[in-house]
Structure 1
Amino acid sequence: MKVDASFWDSLVFARIDDVDVEGVTAALGTVDVVARGRAAEAACSDCGRTSGRVHDC
C-alpha cells in the first residue's frame, strides 16, 4: 500500500528538520521510507571526510 509521503513527513518525521521524506510504502508488516537529506554536503560517518555526494554505503 502506497501512503502519501507528506502525511508521514508531517506526522512521523516532524522533528527531523534536515530530511525530506520522498516516499513511504507499507506492506507485510513493514514500512519502507525513502528520504533525502537537505544538506548540500556532510561528513562521512566512516572516514570523516566531507563530501557533496554519497561515496559509500
Structure 2
Amino acid sequence: MAESSPNARRTQLIVGLVVGAIVGVGVSLWTGFWLWLAAGLVVGLATGALMKPPPTS
C-alpha cells in the first residue's frame, strides 16, 4: 500500500479547517449563536486528521 506524502496530509488538514470555518460561519449566521464557528473548526480539523489523503505513486 502506498503512503501519502506529508505535504498531502498538511493540505488535507488545511482544507478541513477552511471547510469547517465556512460551515461554522454559515451556521453561526443562520442561528445567531457564534459558538457554532468553534464547533465547525473542530469538526473540520477532526475530519482532516481522520481522513486519509489519496496515496502518491
TM-score, normalised to structure 1's length? 0.27
The structure, 1 or 2, with the larger RCO (C-alpha pairs under 8 Å, 6+ apart) is 2
